[in-house]
Amino acid sequence: MTSDLDPRGPARLVVLVSGAGTNLQALLDACQDPAYGAQVVAVGADRPGIEGLARAERAGVPTFVRRVADAEDRSTWDAEITDLVDAHEPDLVVSAGFMKLAGPAFLARFGGRYVNTHPALLPSFPGMHGAADALAHGVKVTGATLFLVDDGVDTGAIIAQRAVEVADDDDVESLHERIKKVERAMLVDVVGRMARDGWTVRDRRVTIP
């Protein structure tokens, strides 16, 4: 698979959030520089009232919200969120702390250009509690992973990883905060390179030229 970005202008990013949105903020900040090669054209969420949406609003970026609870069923929500994202014609969709699994409609539309950032070194510790699960297991090194979302839970092809050492006195909060620092830098670096240079996937091996 080869990416097919429009070489004429900055790549269009739609970012999905469910919480604090510090990863979103890092992207918003990076996009201030035209040389970065991307712009956040919209921010979507699965819940209202979160700081991630407030960050988008402060940056003047359009937002949309669709709660699963307000949809008829999960597949209707999947189709609705797919259309809401698609309306902004993204080149790349970024899940930045978006705590919902992509459904079949979403993956049919955005598969291969939907990336997710996760606070652990996948395939270890997938799911909602990557930092806590790594700490509970007693690993000495964990980190962050950026990957292309597929239909599994955090099983897609890995684009980039960064390691973070676990300190003896870490609790979940201190470890996750240290991971998030590294994660934001990774996200900005790698999404920018994908936007500027494209990427290829061969046998799960992702390459950014």
Nearer to ligand GAR, 5 or 55 (CB): 55
Pick from 20, 59, 65, 71 the residue near ligand GAR by CB under 6 A.
20
The rounded distance, in Å, linking the Cα atoms of 207 and 194 is: 9
Nearer to ligand GAR, 66 or 176 (CB): 176
User: DSSP letter at 138?
Assistant: T
Nearer to ligand GAR, 82 or 142 (CB): 142
Pick from 183, 190, 195, 199 the residue near ligand GAR by CB under 6 A.
183
Nearer to ligand GAR, 77 or 125 (CB): 125
Pick from 78, 117, 147, 162 the residue near ligand GAR by CB under 6 A.
117
C-beta neighbour count of 10 within 10 angstroms = 19
Catalytic annotation, residues: 118
Query: From edge to edge, which strands make up the β-sheet containing 63-65?
Result: 63-65, 38-45, 11-17, 92-95, 114-118, 141-148, 158-165
Count, residues near ligand GAR per rule CB under 6 A: 16
Taking the complex as a whole, the smallest distance from the CB of residue 186 to ligand GAR amounts, in Å, to 10
The rounded distance, in Å, linking the Cα atoms of 60 and 158 is: 32
- Encoded one letter per residue, x for contact with ligand GAR by CB under 6 A and - for no contact, window 35-74 reads -----------------x----------------------
Longest dimension (CA), the chain: 49
142 binds ligand GAR (CB under 6 A): no
Pick from 10, 37, 90, 97 the residue near ligand GAR by CB under 6 A.
97
Per-residue CA distances from 201 to 107, 157, 193, 194 (Å): 16, 8, 15, 12
Classify strands 158-165 and 141-148 as parallel, antiparallel or unpaired: antiparallel
User: DSSP letter at 1?
Assistant: -
Binding site for ligand GAR (CB under 6 A): 17, 19-23, 52, 96-97, 117-119, 128, 130, 180, 183
